[in-house]
Structure 1
Amino acid sequence: MFEQLVEAVKHNSLGQISRALYEVGASIGGNM
């Protein structure tokens, strides 16, 4: 149960990081 929770947190954090990087890249590309 704990391991599943850790895996879920890892996947969620990775998804949030990917989304954040994508938004930052789109913002920089739009400014340029």
Structure 2
Amino acid sequence: MKVDELKAELDRLGIEYPSTAKKPELIELLKESE
């Protein structure tokens, strides 16, 4: 997944993330939300 895809998925799930978050952080947030 690209960073923008990860951010779109987090947005869809209503999960907030820092705008400075790097890809590994975004992936971690997504995993935690499952």
The TM-score with structure 1 as length reference comes to: 0.40
Rg (Cα) greater in structure: 1
* Higher RCO (CA 8 Å, separation ≥ 6 residues): 2
Pick the structure with more helix per residue.
1
